[in-house]
Structure 1
Amino acid sequence: MSMGASAPIRRSFNRALLAILCLGLVLVLTLTALLPLEGPFGLVLALFPINVLIYLGAGLLAWYHRPSNRMGALILLTGVWVFLGGAGNTDVPALVWLGTIAGSMPLAGFVHLLLAFPAGRVRGRISRMTVMVAYGTSLLLEAPSYLFVANPGVPGLAIADAPELARWGGIVQEAVGFVVLASTLVLLTHRLRRSSTTERRVLVPLYGYGIAAVVVMLFAARILRPVFAWAPQDVAALQLLMFCGVPIVFALGVLRGGVARTGELEELGVWLGEAGRTKPEIGAALARTLGDPTLEVWFWVPGRNGYVDTEGVEVTAAREQASRGLEPVELDGRRIGAISCDIALMAEPELVRTAGRVVAIALDRERLIAELLASGRALQSSRERLVEVADRERRRIAQDLHDGLQVQLVLLALEAQQIANAGDDGDAVQERATELRKGIDTAAAGLREVVHSVMPAALTQRGLSAAAEDLVDRMPVPTTLTLSISDNECSPVVESTAYFVVAEALANAVKHSRAGAIAVQLSRAGNVLHVEVRDNGDGGAREGRGSGLTGMVERVEALGGRVHIESASGAGTTIRAEIPCGL
């Protein structure tokens, strides 16, 4: 079961855990009912169901939150050994037999937990051998204590009355148990030496408690009892209390983060290997792994030199500065994104960097998707603005034709009618005809201006260079033109876009910047047409402040190009456009 598991499988898993919880509660209630809690050892015996209940809760909690990690199952298994150990104190013969046989199994389960932490898997040949010997010591070497000693409380279990064999069996069991303890101590010490400072903050308390618990359970009866003159029930109570803290210590280890989250990172790796569309988004997976529900994943867009979120929305500078903690994620030396999270919630910030390295490839894939979403939104917005610009231009042309040329033509028609209705005064007719011709010339000139504003004749007939020269020649301020291109080098749509950039930049310089001199440069580098218009005016031009600059930027970006505007107040304005040259 991984984070990428589908919803039906997850629901089935949850139902299975619920069934285990119900069964465990039934066993706890059964054990409580069967134990002689009213007797002299009632307080000690009550610790058995309490232990089972704690192991049940801790195991299910760990298994629920980390399904692919085996620690939860191991905690539950150790709880089963505790249940069987407590069942040996009941009056039910079958349970007494099981409790007697498995009386030392909780110790083996505890060794297993120590050596399997945090991933739930025992790694290394020596560690596996230690766990196997621990189970063998608890199950096989425990046998002489009940097979060769007749115990009235366990009828029919002894096969011979040989106390000496039982005594030697106990000696061998203690010796092998000491070897298991020593091996466990060496293995844990070795792990501590190889671990980082971050990991030691989790491992030292856990391993320290573990070693202390093993020592108490193995040697309390032989060392503490004679030293402090304790009764057997006192030793048993100490052992059960120590064992009761085992799942609590492991739970604290998980909650502290650091190395205890290694299992979560392994699950994150499993999640990355899942196929299909059933996986949650990478941000949700990281939030679950790192324990920060407010975590966000941002993606780096090189062309914008900024971040976008998973929806493709640009991350503003204010939003980035307000981030509680930002950990960049890199892949092959290039920045691909960042993790925005609450560092205060992280016991170890290093874990954020580790998780970032684990998901770097997936993050790069999601970055490309987010970049496509952002590009799609930008393209859609660009298209909408282009439509608005085109509509606005059509309305302007219609208005010019209606208010200017149409009025002139109506007046000329009236004048022609008056000439037709005039008498035979030849001089008057000739004079009025001359005025009519001048009016027609004026109307024709107005029509040419309208046509030129839509598409200059020089551009359509001779190309970009000629159109740019014609435009510069008509400027009311000194304007220089530097040409490093030939006509028809680029497609018509590219040349018309470049002409529009030059025209709009010149108009902006004359109308708004109060420029005294302007320089225009057209050049081509590779497959890119470069347009630059520089003036020495007042500056202060900004994209988005006027429809002209906005329309210019939209036209260039629609062809996959870019526009850069430098216009500091009092330092003039420089507009640079880079337009891919499609032939």
Structure 2
Amino acid sequence: MPWGRTPSIRSLAGALVALVAVFVVLGLVTTALVVTTPGPTWAYVGLVVVAWVHVAAGVVAWWQRPSNATGGLLVAGGGAWLLADLGNTGVPALAAVGSVTATTPVAVLVQLLLAFPSGRVRDPAARVVVGAAWVTVLVLQAPEYLFTPQPPPHQLLAIADRPDLAAVGGTVQRVVGALVVVATVVLVVRRLRATDRERRRVLLPLAAYGVVAAVMVPLGAAVADLVGLDPVTLGVVQIVALAGVPVAFVTGLLRGGFARTGEVEELAAWLGGADGRPGLARACARALGDPTAQVVFWLPGPGHYVDAAGAPAPLPGAGSGRAAVEVELRGRRVGAIAYDATLLADPEPVAAAGRVLALAIDRERLLAELRASDAALRRSRQRLVEAADGERRRIARDLHDGLQVRLVLLALDAQRLADDAGPALRERAVALRTGIDDAATELRGHVHAVMPAALVERGLAAATEDLVDRVPLPTRLELALEDGTLPPAVESTAYFVVAEGLTNALRHAHARALAVRVVAADGSVRVEVSDDGEGGVGGPAGGGMRGLADRVGAVGGSLSVDSPVGGGTTVTVELPCGS
């Protein structure tokens, strides 16, 4: 089925459950009808069992390999056996259906042989043989029920009593059927010769068993006469042999090796596709039938694996129930495919998928390496910002708690000296006190510029309120955050965005009113500073805003400026605040 239409696990499970339920009901109805019909009841019920085995095997194959058509063919084979068994019921209409479809299981078996392992008949010669098989079982079957009057309830389709036409039709059907079987054997042998030894080990017993089973359906009676089997023994042998056909096909399909050819071909088609392709990991998971399959990429510099986002992704260890197959391109390791070892016991299909995907994995590896480098650069820049902020906080704290306190103490000493001194020294002591106060005031300004005390001591919300309170223009403030929950680098960056935005608005915008909005939600902080001024700012061109843009980018955020002429200016910053 096409990549874009592969069903989900849940929808596939629902469809398979409904399918099994339908076949169980049909099988029970058919069984109830055939047990009331005179004849070898055990044989009629045995055919229902054969149909159920086909359906069960088809469901297993469909579940394990949803993109492989073999499961659908096996289910169709079960339906063919149920329809054929309707000829053994006592209901005229159903018996007529059974007469028409009596030999359709042979065509299904021929198609299974020639479509294995992908479930699709791709070779033109094989398509001709499959078409001939269906003509044989549907068209050439017609003289059997049209020209041979049958006792009730099989007389519904008879149109004339012409034994001669029925005999000719039967002879033609047997000859064409024999030619179809011979052609099937030739094509299977040709395929065997073209495959390697490992694949031949899987295909040879399956092909031999399938051919023998196909021969036993139409030619079972003749073979029994040759070897001296009584009808009952022949019937038992036929039923057992036919019930083993779907089991053999499912076993071959799930063994691995060339059983994954269909999926590898789909991967090749995926690589050659254009738009609308799923991701690499998703395509690989679908092809392997393992929804947990993961593609990781090898970075030779650091010497470790990463995922598509560039994050480290170590290979599964022993005892985890998972395994990995490394992927190489021209002798160079480019990645690996990790998969569920309990679901895929044979690593060969995973290796085959890796060989097909090697070029795509190498291309994605380069992107993953770029993402990893970009992430490392962002982390490095963020560490620099955090280190610089830490140093600023330390300097601000040292100045505030050290030098500023000493200046205050010196000012007090100067005041006491002025109080105790005579008139000659009092004036000089007061001047000294005034100078010390001015130095302390200037120092407080520098400390605030380095790192505001309100931000260090009380957090972003309090510092923003303090900053807005000092703005000489009407300023609307909206705060929706909880102090103490943001990383220090994010807090300081958001504060400096507000400070720079207000400073620029006061200096250049000729605004009458301002607005500040700081909101934390969904793992990020959004900061907006807007004014109703002249607008027309082309972007963060100024030195202050350019520095802020670098700082915002260093912590993984984004900065944008919306400033239509005459429409005011809005500076918007998004800062990630997740851990």
- With normalisation by structure 2, the TM-score equals 0.62
Identify the residue that residue 519 of structure 2 maps to in structure 1: none
Q: After alignment, is 186-195 or 233-242 more displaced?
A: 233-242
Amino acid at match of 1:179: L
Residues 27 and 326 (structure 1), Cα distance of their counterparts in 2 relative to 1, 3 Å cut:
closer
- Aligned counterparts of 2:224 and 2:6: Cα–Cα separation in 1: 53
Q: Is the 8 A contact 1:323 1:340 kept in 2?
A: no
Runs (5+) with no aligned partner, structure 1:
424-446, 448-453, 455-554, 559-583
Residues 412 and 289 (structure 1), Cα distance of their counterparts in 2 relative to 1, 3 Å cut:
same
Q: Is the 8 A contact 1:307 1:337 kept in 2?
A: yes
- Aligned counterparts of 1:170 and 1:74: Cα–Cα separation in 2: 27
1:205 deviation in Å? 2.4
1:198 deviation in Å? 2.8
Amino acid at match of 1:298: V
Identify the residue that residue 196 of structure 2 maps to in structure 1: 196
Residue 337 of structure 1: SS of its match in structure 2? Answer: strand
- Aligned counterparts of 2:150 and 2:333: Cα–Cα separation in 1: 72
Q: After alignment, is 310-319 or 58-67 more displaced?
A: 310-319
- Aligned counterparts of 1:411 and 1:93: Cα–Cα separation in 2: 116
Q: After alignment, is 214-223 or 15-24 more displaced?
A: 15-24
Q: Is the 8 A contact 1:2 1:270 kept in 2?
A: no
Identify the residue that residue 70 of structure 1 maps to in structure 2: 69
Identify the residue that residue 245 of structure 1 maps to in structure 2: 244
- After TM superposition, list the pairs within 5 Å mapping 1:352-391 onto structure 2: 352-364=350-362, 366-367=364-365, 370-371=368-369, 373-375=371-373, 377-391=375-389
Amino acid at match of 2:379: S
- Aligned counterparts of 1:27 and 1:321: Cα–Cα separation in 2: 45
User: Residue by residue, what CA displacement relative to the aligned partner does 1:361-411 show, whole Å, maximum 9, x if unpaired?
Assistant: 553465455445544543443343223311332245446657887798789
Residue 103 of structure 1: SS of its match in structure 2? Answer: coil
Identify the residue that residue 290 of structure 1 maps to in structure 2: 288
- After TM superposition, list the pairs within 5 Å mapping 1:247-286 onto structure 2: 247-269=246-268, 273=273, 279=278, 282-283=280-281, 285-286=283-284
Residues 74 and 346 (structure 1), Cα distance of their counterparts in 2 relative to 1, 3 Å cut:
closer
Identify the residue that residue 110 of structure 2 maps to in structure 1: 111
User: Residue by residue, what CA displacement relative to the aligned partner does 1:26-51 show, whole Å, maximum 9, x if unpaired?
Assistant: 32122112113574511111112212
Identify the residue that residue 457 of structure 2 maps to in structure 1: none
Find out whether 1:328 has 2:341 as its counterpart: no
Q: Is the 8 A contact 2:294 2:339 kept in 1?
A: yes
Residues 316 and 239 (structure 1), Cα distance of their counterparts in 2 relative to 1, 3 Å cut:
closer
Q: Is the 8 A contact 2:305 2:315 kept in 1?
A: no
Q: Is the 8 A contact 1:58 1:251 kept in 2?
A: yes
- Aligned counterparts of 1:36 and 1:398: Cα–Cα separation in 2: 97
Q: C-alpha root-mean-square deviation of aligned residues, in Å?
A: 4.6
Residue 117 of structure 2: SS of its match in structure 1? Answer: coil
- Aligned counterparts of 1:347 and 1:11: Cα–Cα separation in 2: 24
Residue 297 of structure 1: SS of its match in structure 2? Answer: strand
Q: Is the 8 A contact 1:74 1:113 kept in 2?
A: yes
Identify the residue that residue 55 of structure 1 maps to in structure 2: 54
- Aligned counterparts of 1:422 and 1:56: Cα–Cα separation in 2: 112
User: Residue by residue, what CA displacement relative to the aligned partner does 1:556-577 show, whole Å, maximum 9, x if unpaired?
Assistant: xx8xxxxxxxxxxxxxxxxxxx
Residues 323 and 282 (structure 1), Cα distance of their counterparts in 2 relative to 1, 3 Å cut:
farther
Q: Is the 8 A contact 1:21 1:56 kept in 2?
A: yes
Find out whether 1:225 has 2:225 as its counterpart: yes
Amino acid at match of 1:301: L
Residues 89 and 313 (structure 1), Cα distance of their counterparts in 2 relative to 1, 3 Å cut:
same
- Aligned counterparts of 2:11 and 2:186: Cα–Cα separation in 1: 41
- Aligned counterparts of 2:32 and 2:291: Cα–Cα separation in 1: 43
Identify the residue that residue 209 of structure 1 maps to in structure 2: 209
Residue 296 of structure 2: SS of its match in structure 1? Answer: strand
1:117 deviation in Å? 1.1
Amino acid at match of 1:95: L
- Aligned counterparts of 1:344 and 1:64: Cα–Cα separation in 2: 15
Residue 336 of structure 1: SS of its match in structure 2? Answer: strand
Q: Is the 8 A contact 1:63 1:73 kept in 2?
A: yes
1:341 deviation in Å? 4.1
- After TM superposition, list the pairs within 5 Å mapping 1:443-522 onto structure 2: none
Residues 57 and 418 (structure 1), Cα distance of their counterparts in 2 relative to 1, 3 Å cut:
closer
User: Residue by residue, what CA displacement relative to the aligned partner does 1:492-514 show, whole Å, maximum 9, x if unpaired?
Assistant: xxxxxxxxxxxxxxxxxxxxxxx
- After TM superposition, list the pairs within 5 Å mapping 1:47-196 onto structure 2: 47-153=46-152, 154-155=154-155, 157=158, 159-163=160-164, 165-196=165-196
- Aligned counterparts of 1:317 and 1:396: Cα–Cα separation in 2: 43
Q: Is the 8 A contact 1:4 1:274 kept in 2?
A: no
Q: Is the 8 A contact 1:298 1:307 kept in 2?
A: yes
1:53 deviation in Å? 1.9
What is the identity percentage for the equivalent residue pairs of Structure 1 and Structure 2? 47
- Aligned counterparts of 2:317 and 2:335: Cα–Cα separation in 1: 15
Q: Is the 8 A contact 1:307 1:314 kept in 2?
A: yes
1:286 deviation in Å? 3.2
Q: Is the 8 A contact 1:3 1:268 kept in 2?
A: no
Identify the residue that residue 23 of structure 2 maps to in structure 1: 24
Residue 88 of structure 2: SS of its match in structure 1? Answer: coil
Amino acid at match of 1:221: A
1:115 deviation in Å? 0.4
- Aligned counterparts of 2:193 and 2:313: Cα–Cα separation in 1: 43
Identify the residue that residue 305 of structure 2 maps to in structure 1: 307
Amino acid at match of 1:142: Q
Runs (5+) with no aligned partner, structure 2:
423-442, 444-449, 451-550, 555-579
Residues 148 and 408 (structure 1), Cα distance of their counterparts in 2 relative to 1, 3 Å cut:
closer
1:114 deviation in Å? 0.6
Amino acid at match of 1:247: P
1:70 deviation in Å? 2.7
- Aligned counterparts of 1:414 and 1:40: Cα–Cα separation in 2: 123
Residues 323 and 389 (structure 1), Cα distance of their counterparts in 2 relative to 1, 3 Å cut:
farther
Amino acid at match of 1:340: A
Q: After alignment, is 358-367 or 72-81 more displaced?
A: 358-367
Amino acid at match of 1:71: T
User: Residue by residue, what CA displacement relative to the aligned partner does 1:118-161 show, whole Å, maximum 9, x if unpaired?
Assistant: 22221223212222222222233334444444332432615233
1:207 deviation in Å? 0.8
- Aligned counterparts of 1:317 and 1:144: Cα–Cα separation in 2: 64
- Aligned counterparts of 1:92 and 1:308: Cα–Cα separation in 2: 66
Q: Is the 8 A contact 1:192 1:204 kept in 2?
A: yes
- Aligned counterparts of 1:274 and 1:244: Cα–Cα separation in 2: 44
- Aligned counterparts of 2:224 and 2:304: Cα–Cα separation in 1: 66
Q: Is the 8 A contact 1:336 1:363 kept in 2?
A: yes
- Aligned counterparts of 2:316 and 2:394: Cα–Cα separation in 1: 39
Residue 298 of structure 2: SS of its match in structure 1? Answer: strand
Identify the residue that residue 540 of structure 2 maps to in structure 1: none
- Aligned counterparts of 1:21 and 1:34: Cα–Cα separation in 2: 20
Residues 110 and 103 (structure 1), Cα distance of their counterparts in 2 relative to 1, 3 Å cut:
same
Q: Is the 8 A contact 1:306 1:314 kept in 2?
A: yes
Residues 100 and 419 (structure 1), Cα distance of their counterparts in 2 relative to 1, 3 Å cut:
closer
Residue 90 of structure 2: SS of its match in structure 1? Answer: coil
User: Residue by residue, what CA displacement relative to the aligned partner does 1:337-366 show, whole Å, maximum 9, x if unpaired?
Assistant: 222346686454332222113334553465
1:180 deviation in Å? 1.8
1:86 deviation in Å? 0.7
- Aligned counterparts of 2:14 and 2:342: Cα–Cα separation in 1: 35
- Aligned counterparts of 2:88 and 2:317: Cα–Cα separation in 1: 64
Match of 2:336 among 335, 338, 341: 338
Q: After alignment, is 240-249 or 65-74 more displaced?
A: 65-74
Residues 274 and 233 (structure 1), Cα distance of their counterparts in 2 relative to 1, 3 Å cut:
farther
- Aligned counterparts of 2:262 and 2:248: Cα–Cα separation in 1: 16
1:3 deviation in Å? 5.1
Residues 106 and 330 (structure 1), Cα distance of their counterparts in 2 relative to 1, 3 Å cut:
same
Aligned length: 438
